Amino acid sequence: MSDAVADKPQAITSRHDARYKVTLYEHVGIDNAWTLDYYLEHEGYQAAKKALTTMQPDDVVNEVKKSGLRGRGGAGFPTGVKWSFMPKPDGRQRFILCNGDESEPGSFKDRYILEDDPHQLVEGLMIAGYAMSATIGIVYIRGEYHLGYDRLVSAIKDARAAGYLGKDIFGSGFDFDIIVHRGAGAYICGEETALMNSFEGLRGNPRMKPPFPAQAGVYGRPTTINNVTSITSAVHIIKHGAEWFASMGTDDSKGTKLYQVSGCVNRPGVYEMPMGATFGELIYDFAGGPSEDAKAFIPGGSSTPLMPFTDEYLSAPMSYDGIAKKGSMLGTGGVIVIPKEKCLVNFMWNCVRFYAHESCGKCTPCREGVATWMPKMFQKLVMGRGEPGDLELIENMSNNIKGTGFCVHADAAMWPIDASIKYFRDEYEYLIANGVSKYPRTTWWKD
Amino acid sequence: MKVIVNDRELDLPPGTSAIDAVFQAGYDVPYFCSQEYMSPIGACRLCLAKVGAPRKDRATGEWILDEETGEPKVFWFPKPMATCTTAVMEGMVIDTKCQETKNAQKSMMEFTLINHPLDCPVCDKGGACELQDRAYEYGEGVSRFDFDKRHQEKHHALSPLITLDRERCIHCKRCVRYFEEIPGDEVLDFIERGGHTYIGTLDDGLPSNFTGNITDICPVGALLDATSRFRGRNWEYRHTRTTSTDDSSGSAIMVDSRTGRIERIKAARHTRINHDWIDDGTRFGHEYADAEDRLKTPLIKKDGTFQEATWEEASAFISDKLQATKNVGVAIRADATLEEAVGAAALADHLHGTYDYYPKTPAAITPSATPATLDDVATSNALFVLADVTEEVPIVDLRIKDALKGVTPPEPMAHGIPIADLRLKEHMPKKTAILSVAAPYQVDLMKYAGRTITYSAGHEAALLRALLATAKGNTADVDGLSIDQNLGIDQNLGIDHELGIDQDGLSALVKQLQDNDDAVIVYGGWVLASAEASELANQLAKVTGSKVLPLAPMANSRGLEVIETATGDVLEDASALILSNLNPARASHFVNHRKTLDLLVVHDTFMTETAELADVVLPAKTGYEKEGTVVNLEGRILPLNAVPVDSGTSEDFTGLVKALGDAMGTRLAGRSVRSARRALKETLGFDLADLPSEGMLPENLPTQHHGRPASSEKSANAVIVPTMSRPEYLSRNPRLQIAQGALALRVNPADAHKHGLTAHERVKIDVSGVTRRLVIKTDERVPAGVSLVPAIAEQPCGLARVDFASARPDPVMPVPPVQTDAGTMTAEVGD
Amino acid sequence: MTELPTIKPFFADKQDIVDEILGRYPEYGQRSAVMPLLWEVQRAERHVNEARIAEIATILDMHPTEVKGVMSFYSTYHEQPVGKYHLQVCATLSCSLAGADEMYDYLVDELGIVNGETDREGRFSLQKVECLGSCGTAPVLQVNHTYYECVTRSRCKHLLETMRADTLPEPWRERGGDNVGVEKAQPVKSPGAEGGNT
């Protein structure tokens, strides 16, 4: 190895790398980790103090830009760049809106932060607010997360009492406080513009872009929307530095990320790993491997196209590019492992019903296609009444729905269907030809 | 900006939507959710097209060029764009003819139709249905959906006037957006989400004066006009565009008639007055034109009973009687056309008698200050409204709501009003700070006003005086009303007076009017009832540099001022009367006065109390049936086009003048519309036959107004208030009456208790000498000690005295019940 | 029997709660309070009826129709009263792989009600819901505000027994993953059984 190459340290792309340390989930699962006392005993609010008292807002934005952090809510937009879209302060109120409406099937990483380490989010919001001169942070938390809501509200109350929220924090001249707003059960409200509408007390339909939230967001004021994990990542970026964050991950996907595993694995749960680690490492080395024969897996939440459970795909690095090269997306990193004996058409029917139930109903292809026709087609197949031509009809409908909806919900509903047909067409054809599934097992419930 | 649509190149202003580019170029895409006067939302996805645009190199700032052609390269957007929500960019290319676009249109149409019921054979919208037309043009022709369609409620009565078929709804959201964006009454919304979404309300009966417009804009047969349900097929209707005579707005209407019957009234587009909207009174108040008891032939009273006669017989009879009469009075109603007025004046002149119209305000309606147009109202940044505009001239309420949005009216493009105006958005904040509303009780428009003034009834002049004094810089001691002596003070009003605003408020309001050179003062019947108040309003406008918009009481009140009338009171002074559409016999003193008359001729549509007392009754055309001209509250001259209605031998006043003229052996001006127009050409300076359909707004109309002094009501305890629905005909518009309620005497609950009146009780009651038939309605918003009585032609806006002791039960005489989707409902004969 | 709500206005004696909720939002954003106000009613009366909708509309100067439009958009506001124990079965992907469909069928058989129904006593109601965000501990059953995770058949049976005796067991909340490794975490008590405010 030449000196030039040896000079630059190898990026950390595996959790087995001794240099890697868990940071986001460091305190999750520990009793009382959600209290202010515990948080302060573990360097709590030090990063915020550093940002507010020693850095300028633009410095914070640049640090996050340099770190290479990409949005952890699924879209993967560079967070620092998003922060820099906010216009210059012009007297209008500015908001940092945290998207805690985690409803993507397969995703459950934000919940434990809200329940076990809410101060991390509070501190992250302070840093993000400071960076963008936004004096009000809003956390929109999904309505079903009651424990998370209670813990977060309690944490905010304690932080306020201790002076970490309110006026002139750390004597920096920066005021900041947080509104916590509970959702009420609608996946579409996780879409950033629908989130804003829902927060404003309107029905949760998405809005047109342009105008973008940074220009006209909550109540028409400049707003930036970020996922819970994106915001908490900012704490560690400020604490340890952008280089530290960028030392982990691949060229296009930097930093540490929370991956979730569910489905037929021995140790399902959330695993924090550097980006670029492979699916194989996640599923076998940490999640205990499949608990029975697996045939497919979803890489990043139900909206991401599934992939066959083969070495070719399992060896892909879990990065935006790495997965894109395999024809899918990273999404939220919520891996679902699908057992061989699960009828894939039935599984897809479940997925289709999810998107149908969560459609907001605004636009025609989603309301009539995703929410009405597609579930009926899948029901027809699963009930054994499929006819020749049905599969082609589904493919054609999928083509007509993709790209024509008002927001990406319609597309997200079709990608999994396309992938399932691409890789498991045989199961569809078997079902249509025979009226029964190739994999008829229906007993999954453990005693 | 350069925009290319298929093979045509256009130059369009920035901010134009792609869909308007398509139409401007003469091409076409289907759309359902866009509506010219509402926000574009991109929901239906029918307008999808393949769109592309050139890009600039980030580094050099130059257009990226196509290597082969050397022209800026067109980068096609990765998916089809909804053209209604896409703003044009420099060099944008829109392809509406390629396969990708056609595919999108076909598939979107297929999706739209999968849950739409096959109701065309029984649906009122058939033949005028946007979905039918577009499906035929852009759909595949065959659907591949062979499951059960979604089933929902099929004839839900949203109100007695509007029926909703939920299965037919294609979720374009026009109705929901309409209510939020136009009148601001959000009484309709989507319920549930996804595939289960449906339209519903919790505001029973849709409380708004403008509900009917949703039946016009609904692209399918989901929202239907209940008055015309199952009455005919759209292609059977004769469509007549004319001007409504129900109020002074001059709103354009489209009257659908069939075999001599009016089946339905819709809004017609008028880009300067009412856009695409009309109020519910105008829309649903037509059933009276086909009432069973409509007068169809002349009647002559012989031996105490009426005998049918011909016009010749009746005219001969009248002419005979007139020989012996000295002092003939000819009086018409203020919604008569200019041509009718010419005839009435000519007739009176020929008979050496007097001519006048009722109601007539003490001061001229034509203002001395600069008059405002409705567009001026809609673009104003400082509005002071002294009226209950939502009832008096409802369309003005909608134009005020336009002003609150702060978006100027759209400029028409070659293809008409732009289909998708990107400046309009859902839930735009309302600039309430620009609006101040003053009234003697709480009125609906006050909800949208930044400043509200509830003053004591009858104190319009005092309020205006205080404002004028403030504007001129005189100190005004408001509390004790001891104001600068030069301006004088009202007396004898008997109602505890309060101006409802302090000096700071007066100053702020005046400053707002002064600071904005587009300020408009809107004043209604209560101001017009006082010559002094009218004058003060105009002075205030002049001093603050504002324009004025007087809310003329009836359709042609402004226009009738161009023709000279009598001084004095024709109804009192004349010894023989020819009355057209007037019913003074409800006033007891007229019943006595009648006995002294040599002759009473009544020209009316129905047998009224006055007609009962007449010697001759002549059948009158309704406003729908007239050919003629009216002048609206702006001073805009507008045409009436006759709707073919079978009304026997009914005539308008020009017909009466012809018949009478023939009998008297003379040819009078105004014996026909044409002859009247010849006379008017002299007065107005142009030929009314050339009037374009949107009318014209001349610089000045000559005014020859002789005011009629206001009846000074001693010890008033009531205010006469405007109502949207025409009181003369409400009882014969059963559905409208069920929806709006019968004409009501509105009292504060404490007063009702004090006078022993119960809510919903029907009474005959004396109001300033006129017997009114009203239903009691208790309302907390009515101030204590003041009642509200609806205005009629014989008792216009102003003050009055209700004699509570005179109240006696008025037994209900129901008209035949009407079938609605909410069951059978009964209207009641009333005032 | 399910208690019918009284006609007395809900918020008449709760002005402090209303003020606190309205105070959370800026003065130009008061409409945001419609969701927390709906939740107050839902929580206390197990449903939101038209009278309550009208009250909320009056507080916020909205039309009742608008409030209904917002309320009906979401899955956790109900027009009809839910039971004392509102059982929400997560039925999506990972939970269905872990047997959620069987659990739902079991509950239907045991309780005699289906999705969207409340039993005659008003004790149980059943709702199939979408992903609850606890895929690692599937199948998940949410009872009122609490997640019961890793609900095996025997646990489900135990849960029904305790609910029929008018109590609830401590929630099972295993973590797995990066939390405490393979061992099960101690059950965690929620600060307020009905969920707190502030």
Summarised one tens digit per residue, pLDDT across range A387-430 is: 999 999 999 999 999 999 999 999 999 999 999 999 999 999 99
State the total domains in chain B: 5
Q: What CATH number should be reported for the domain whose range is C4-73?
A: 1.10.10.1590
Span(s) in chain A for CATH 3.10.20.600: 256-339
| B716: three-class secondary structure by DSSP | coil
Q: Residue A358: list chain B partners with CB under 8 A.
A: 194
Nearest 10 degrees: Cα torsion A109, A115, A116, A119: 100
pLDDT, residue C177, reads: 63
- Cis omega (within 30 of 0) on the bond before B814? no
Structural element, H or E, at residue B200: strand B198-200
Q: What CATH number should be reported for the domain whose range is A256-339?
A: 3.10.20.600
Residue B429 near chain A (CB below 8 Å): yes
Task: For chain A, give the percent of residues with pLDDT over 70.
Answer: 98
User: Could you say which of C50, C54, C69 has the minimum Cβ distance to residue B189?
Assistant: C69
Distance from CA of A148 to the nearest CA of C (A): 9
User: Could you say which of A201, A270, A350 has the minimum Cβ distance to residue C32?
Assistant: A201
Residue C98 DSSP label: T
Boundary residue ending a domain (B264, B290, B316): B290
| B215: three-class secondary structure by DSSP | helix
Domain assignment present for residue B713? The answer is no
Residue C66 to residue B191, Cβ atoms within 8 A: no
pLDDT, residue A6, reads: 54
Best to test chain B binding among C38, C50, C61, C63 (most B CBs inside 10 Å) = C63
Structural element, H or E, at residue B812: none
Residue A406 to residue B429, Cβ atoms within 8 A: no
The identity of residue B407, as a single letter, is V
Distance from CA of B671 to the nearest CA of C (A): 54
Neighbouring residues of C31: CB distance < 8 A, sequence distance ≥ 6 = A200, A201, A202, C60, C62
Residue B104 near chain A (CB below 8 Å): yes
Q: Residue B205: list chain C partners with CB under 8 A.
A: none
Residue B190 near chain C (CB below 8 Å): yes
CB-based contact B762:B773 (threshold 8 Å): yes
For residue B208, what are its two tokens?
């708004």
**C-alpha pair distances (Å), A66 with each of A78, A79, A224, C117:** 10, 10, 19, 54
User: Which residues of chain B, if any, have pLDDT below 50?
Assistant: 476-496
pLDDT, residue B126, reads: 95
**A45 vs A124: CA distance, rounded Å:** 9
Lowest mean pLDDT among A318-327, B477-486, B694-703, C147-156: B477-486
Q: How many Cβ pairs closer than 8 A exist between chain A and C?
A: 221
| C89: three-class secondary structure by DSSP | strand
> B touches which chains (3+ CB pairs under 8 A)?
A, C
Of residues B216, B316, B246, the one with CA closest to residue B554: B246
Lowest mean pLDDT among A257-261, A296-300, B482-486: B482-486
Distance from CA of A303 to the nearest CA of C (A): 12
Boundary residue ending a domain (B290, B309, B327): B290
**Dihedral angle sign, alpha carbons of residues A253, A258, A260, A266:** positive
Prediction pTM value: 0.94
Domain assignment present for residue B204? The answer is yes
Residue A259 near chain C (CB below 8 Å): no
Residue B187 to residue C63, Cβ atoms within 8 A: yes
Q: Residue C31: list chain B partners with CB under 8 A.
A: none
Half-sphere exposure (Cβ direction) of B754: Cα atoms closer than 13 Å: 10
Domain assignment present for residue B124? The answer is no
User: Could you say which of C75, C91, C98 has the minimum Cβ distance to residue A186?
Assistant: C75
How do the residues of chain A divide into helix, strand and coil, expressed in percent and rounded to 5?
45, 15, 40
B406 Rama class: left (phi>0) / alpha (psi -120 to 50) / beta: left
CB-based contact A9:A88 (threshold 8 Å): no
Residue B193 to residue C68, Cβ atoms within 8 A: no
The identity of residue B651, as a single letter, is E
Of residues B532, B371, B377, the one with CA closest to residue B463: B532
Neighbouring residues of C45: CB distance < 8 A, sequence distance ≥ 6 = C5, C10, C52, C81
Of residues C94, C38, C93, C92, the one with CA closest to residue C62: C38
Residue B80 to residue A208, Cβ atoms within 8 A: no
Angle CA B546–B547–B548, to nearest 5: 125
Residue A186 to residue B193, Cβ atoms within 8 A: yes
Residue A29 to residue C145, Cβ atoms within 8 A: no
Best to test chain A binding among C93, C104, C132, C172 (most A CBs inside 10 Å) = C93
Residue B527 near chain C (CB below 8 Å): no
Domain of residue B603: give its range: 299-362+558-690
Say whether pLDDT at C50 is over 60.
yes
Span(s) in chain A for CATH 1.20.1440.230: 344-434
Domain assignment present for residue B712? The answer is no
Structural element, H or E, at residue A264: none
Burial class of A19 by CB neighbour count within 10 A (0 to 12, 13 to 18, 19+): exposed
pLDDT, residue C8, reads: 86
For residue A92, what are its two tokens?
């209008």
Is B182 found in the same domain as B88? no
Distance from CA of A304 to the nearest CA of C (A): 13
> C touches which chains (3+ CB pairs under 8 A)?
A, B
**B445 vs A213: CA distance, rounded Å:** 33
- Pairing between β-strand B2-5 and β-strand B92-95 as defined by DSSP bridges: parallel
Neighbouring residues of B70: CB distance < 8 A, sequence distance ≥ 6 = none
Report CA Rg, chain C.
Answer: 19
Domain assignment present for residue B706? The answer is no
**C183 vs B451: CA distance, rounded Å:** 67
Domain assignment present for residue B130? The answer is no
Residue A268 to residue C136, Cβ atoms within 8 A: yes
What fold, for C85-171?
Glutaredoxin (3.40.30)
Is B527 found in the same domain as B406? yes
Beta bridge partner(s), residue B306: B301
Lowest mean pLDDT among A213-222, A369-378, B290-299, B753-762: B753-762
Say whether pLDDT at C6 is over 70.
no
> What CATH number is given to the structural domain containing B224?
3.30.70.20
Task: For chain A, give the percent of residues with pLDDT over 90.
Answer: 92
Residue C72 to residue B193, Cβ atoms within 8 A: yes
Beta bridge partner(s), residue B299: B308, B617
Of residues B831, B363, B329, B799, the one with CA closest to residue B590: B329
Q: Residue B85: list chain A partners with CB under 8 A.
A: 208
Is B55 found in the same domain as B187? no
**A238 vs A45: CA distance, rounded Å:** 11
Residue B750 near chain C (CB below 8 Å): no
CB-based contact B256:B290 (threshold 8 Å): no
User: Could you say which of C74, C136, C178 has the minimum Cβ distance to residue A272?
Assistant: C178
What integer is the mean pLDDT of C116-133? 95
The identity of residue A72, as a single letter, is R
**Dihedral angle sign, alpha carbons of residues B396, B402, B403, B408:** negative
**B451 vs B434: CA distance, rounded Å:** 8
pLDDT, residue B488, reads: 33
Say whether pLDDT at C194 is over 60.
no
Burial class of B313 by CB neighbour count within 10 A (0 to 12, 13 to 18, 19+): middle
Q: How many Cβ pairs closer than 8 A exist between chain B and C?
A: 34
- Please, where are the H alpha helices in A162-310? 192-199, 228-240, 242-246, 279-280
User: Could you say which of A115, A154, A201 has the minimum Cβ distance to residue C70?
Assistant: A201
Is B447 found in the same domain as B384? yes
> What CATH number is given to the structural domain containing B755?
2.40.40.20
**B698 vs B630: CA distance, rounded Å:** 13
CA closest to A369 among chain B residues? B111
**B30 vs A364: CA distance, rounded Å:** 14
CB-based contact A201:C31 (threshold 8 Å): yes
Is B216 found in the same domain as B76? no
Residue A203 to residue B45, Cβ atoms within 8 A: no
The identity of residue A428, as a single letter, is Y
Confidence of residue C178 (pLDDT cuts 50, 70, 90): low
Domain ranges of chain C: 4-73, 85-171
Residue C66 to residue B190, Cβ atoms within 8 A: no
Neighbouring residues of A80: CB distance < 8 A, sequence distance ≥ 6 = A61, A62, A63, A64, A65, A66, A67, A69
Is B339 found in the same domain as B266? no
- C187 φ/ψ angles, rounded to the nearest 5 degrees: -60, 140
Is B407 found in the same domain as B543? yes
Is B583 found in the same domain as B686? yes
Q: What CATH number should be reported for the domain whose range is A344-434?
A: 1.20.1440.230
Q: Residue A369: list chain B partners with CB under 8 A.
A: 111
**B300 vs B302: CA distance, rounded Å:** 6
In chain B, the N- to C-terminal Cα span, in Å, equals 60
Best to test chain C binding among A32, A144, A272, A441 (most C CBs inside 10 Å) = A144
CATH of A27-246, one of 3.90.550.10, 3.30.830.10, 3.40.50.11540, 2.60.40.10: 3.40.50.11540
Residue A444 to residue C28, Cβ atoms within 8 A: no
Domain assignment present for residue B710? The answer is no
Residue A368 near chain B (CB below 8 Å): yes
Residue C34 to residue A154, Cβ atoms within 8 A: no
Is B106 found in the same domain as B213? no
Angle CA B460–B466–B471, to nearest 5: 125
For chain A, give the longest Cα–Cα distance. Answer: 73
Span(s) in chain A for CATH 3.40.50.11540: 27-246
